């Protein structure tokens, strides 16, 4: 009984008449806090949407700029890549380069003793004392089941998949 008297005295000192008004005050305060939180959430949502729009616009701007630069680069590369119209000279130079390449490949094959490997066949050489160079060499000799023309088509197809703008120009030379 003493506790209930103390609670009533405490409530009257604080200006609270009954427990019903205490709950009303609490719910009123919670309602105000909830409304403030909803307003804050709404403003944060608007701010987030604004930032999303800015990011989308920046992406679009960068994409356009990159596309324009790529287009300009492509146009520059497509403009008469060979100012010399003497294609026979270019072709002769290309043949000389290929001949030099074949000579260097033949020398490499002789150094690696590719002639001693049976066809089809494989060989390997291990270099156990090497620390920063080639540790193992694998050599393989086989007959390929496709023609030079098919090889050429496969190379150009591969270059086309790499999105190299000059691959188109090189295929026309």
pLDDT tens digits for range 84-139: 567 788 788 888 888 888 888 888 878 877 777 777 777 777 877 777 776 777 77
> Do residue 14 and residue 64 come from a single domain?
yes
Task: Give pLDDT, residue 76.
Answer: 66
> Do residue 120 and residue 153 come from a single domain?
no
Q: How many domains does the chain have?
A: 4
pTM, entire model: 0.32
CB atoms within 10 A of CB 55: 10
Question: Which of 19-23, 160-164, 166-170 has the largest mean confidence?
Answer: 19-23
The distance in angstroms from the start CA to the end CA of the chain is 108
What's phi and psi for 154, nearest 5 deg? -65, -40
> Do residue 67 and residue 22 come from a single domain?
yes
Task: Give pLDDT, residue 15.
Answer: 58
Question: Hey, is 82 helix, strand or coil?
Answer: coil
> Do residue 91 and residue 122 come from a single domain?
no
Look at the chain and count its residues.
173
* Domain extent for 99: 84-111
> Do residue 150 and residue 165 come from a single domain?
yes
CA–CA gap between residue 12 and residue 14 (Å, rounded): 5
> Do residue 41 and residue 103 come from a single domain?
no
Task: Give pLDDT, residue 137.
Answer: 77
Question: Which of 18-27, 61-70, 125-134 has the largest mean confidence?
Answer: 61-70
> Do residue 29 and residue 14 come from a single domain?
yes
> Do residue 27 and residue 68 come from a single domain?
yes
């Amino acid at each position: 009984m003493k506790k209930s008297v103390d609670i009533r005295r405490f409530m009257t000192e604080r200006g609270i008449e009954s427990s019903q008004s205490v709950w009303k005050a609490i719910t009123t305060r919670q309602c105000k806090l909830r409304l403030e939180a909803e307003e804050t959430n709404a403003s944060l949502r608007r701010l987030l949407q604004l930032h999303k729009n800015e990011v989308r616009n920046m992406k679009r701007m960068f994409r356009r700029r990159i596309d324009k630069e790529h287009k300009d680069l492509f146009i520059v590369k497509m403009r008469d890549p060979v100012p010399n119209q003497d294609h026979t000279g270019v072709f002769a130079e290309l043949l000389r380069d290929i001949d030099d390449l074949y000579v260097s490949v033949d020398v490499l094959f002789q150094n690696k003793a590719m002639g001693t490997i049976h066809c089809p066949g494989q060989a390997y050489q291990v270099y156990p004392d090497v620390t920063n160079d080639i540790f193992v060499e694998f050599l393989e000799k086989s007959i390929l089941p496709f023609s030079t023309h098919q090889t050429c088509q496969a190379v150009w197809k591969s270059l086309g998949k790499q999105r190299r703008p000059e691959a188109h120009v090189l295929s026309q030379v």
